[in-house]
């Protein structure tokens, strides 16, 4: 199994599980977002994922795969000493690592530097459906997420000397000098919690973005600005790092489970619907959301239904334009 940041570099220091707890405490005090990895000498690693200092998920990973840990300290005691790595990441990059850890993978292949450069900036960017890729060289590695459609790609490059975590394709990935790299493609499985959370994220943003544009056509700018301000305030009260700018959702939140993601997104959507009904009336409000839900892709519609993001009366059965695709 290939997981980001699993390689142990020569400059890493071996520590005990008690010192790992100290790292966790410091991460919490400093409200960091990122991960801590403890790699043992017997092909097992513990991954701890943090959002603003709060431990979201813990995993035990090995050659056969990974599983979530309810009690990571017990697993750390069993490992004993290990090599620790602390990596500070953006929320989206943290979500990418979470997807990689939980995903099955296809066979790893070798790709030349020339083919890699061409694919990174040309052919792979044309994807309609999401692709999550891991690249590994002898002295560096990268993680690339093509989100597909209108969603922007994001990349992470890591070497002992440098970390690049940025929107788009990092120049560090394109310009890395080694002649070949190992390429792993992760499989999208919508029964995996991390992928369910990602679909909920996309679905919430898509519904919210399109609804706000429709509302503005009917009510004008001032009313929609007022709705957006109230949504931002509610997100803050719910301790969610979600903003709306230029009528587009900016979501910097990572959740521990898809259920918690659904709870947050459901609350924001319900608040938006309640406000707009008071202004344009229930029939027109319902019609707008029905138009939006009928064009959702199957995976998005399934997420709305499975996690009750919207009331049942706002979902409409029948043919949908995106039903042939997962996303």
Domain residues of the chain, as ranges? 1-89, 103-188, 193-314
Residue with tokens 């788009």: 168
Q: What is the maximum span of the chain, computed from C-alpha positions, in angstroms?
A: 65
pLDDT value at residue 316:
62
Residues 72, 78: Cα–Cα separation, whole Å: 10
Contact call for residues 251 and 242 (beta carbons, < 8 A): yes
Picking from 239, 251, 168, 237, the residue whose alpha carbon sits closest to that of residue 208 is: 251
Res. 327 pLDDT band, cuts 50 70 90: low
- Backbone Cα Rg of the chain: 21
DSSP code, position 258 = H
131 exposure class (CB count in 10 Å sphere: 0-12, 13-18, 19+): middle
Q: Which of 96, 190, 183, 97 is nearest to 146 (CA)?
A: 96
Q: pLDDT class for 320, splitting at 50, 70, 90?
A: very low
* DSSP category for residue 190: T
**Residue 204 — φ and ψ, nearest 5°?**
-60, -50
**Predicted TM-score of the model (pTM):** 0.92
CA 45 to chain centre: 21
Per-chain mean pLDDT for the chain:
91
User: What is the C-alpha separation between 46 and 31, in angstroms, rounded?
Assistant: 20
DSSP-derived secondary structure for 95-107: HHHHHHHHS-B--
Tokens of 283: 């029939």
Closest alpha carbon to 266 in 320, 219, 200:
200
CA dist., res. 3 & res. 46, Å (int): 11
Rounded average pLDDT over 61-76:
90
CB 99 within 8 A of CB 132: yes
Of 26, 184, 24, whose CA–CA distance to 100 is shortest?
184
Tell me if 44 sits within 8 A of 79, measured CB to CB. yes
Query: pLDDT digit string (tens) for 223-274?
Result: 999 999 999 999 999 999 999 999 999 999 999 999 999 999 999 999 999 9
pLDDT of 318 higher than 70: no
pLDDT > 70: what percent of the chain?
A: 96
In 3D space, the residue among 263, 268, 271, 270 whose CA is nearest the CA of residue 249 turns out to be 268
Pair of tokens at residue 95: 């979500």
Per residue in 258-272, pLDDT (tens digit) is: 999 999 999 999 999
Tokens of 250: 């900016």
């Amino acid at each position: 199994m290939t997981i980001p940041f699993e390689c142990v570099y020569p400059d890493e220091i071996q520590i005990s599980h008690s010192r790992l707890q100290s790292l966790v405490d410091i991460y919490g005090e400093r409200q960091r977002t990122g991960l801590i990895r403890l790699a043992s000498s017997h092909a097992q690693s513990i991954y701890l994922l943090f959002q603003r200092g709060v431990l979201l998920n813990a995993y035990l990973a090995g050659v056969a795969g990974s599983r979530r840990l309810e009690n990571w300290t017990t697993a750390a005691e069993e490992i004993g000493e290990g090599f620790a790595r602390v990596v500070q990441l953006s929320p989206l990059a943290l979500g990418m690592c979470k997807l990689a850890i939980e995903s099955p993978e296809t066979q790893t292949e070798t790709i030349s530097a020339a083919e890699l450069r061409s694919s990174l900036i040309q052919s792979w960017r044309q994807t309609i459906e999401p692709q999550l890729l891991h690249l590994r060289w002898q002295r560096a590695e990268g993680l690339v997420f093509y989100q597909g459609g209108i969603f922007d790609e994001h990349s992470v490059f890591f070497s002992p000397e440098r970390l690049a975590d940025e929107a788009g394709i990092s120049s560090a990935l394109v310009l890395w000098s080694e002649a070949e790299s190992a390429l792993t493609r992760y499989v999208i499985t919508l029964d995996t919690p991390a992928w369910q959370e990602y679909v909920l994220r996309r679905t919430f943003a898509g519904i919210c973005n399109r609804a706000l544009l429709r509302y503005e056509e009917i009510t004008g700018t001032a009313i929609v600005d007022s709705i957006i301000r109230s949504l931002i305030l509610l997100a803050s009260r719910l301790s969610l790092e979600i903003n709306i700018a230029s009528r587009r959702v900016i979501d910097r939140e990572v959740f521990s489970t898809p259920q918690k993601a659904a709870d947050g997104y459901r609350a924001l959507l319900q608040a938006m619907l309640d406000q707009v009904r008071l202004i344009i009336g229930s029939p027109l409000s319902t019609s707008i959301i029905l138009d939006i839900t009928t064009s959702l892709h199957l995976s998005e519609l399934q997420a709305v239904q499975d996690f009750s993001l919207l009331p049942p009366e706002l979902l409409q059965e029948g043919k949908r334009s995106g039903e042939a695709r997962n996303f």
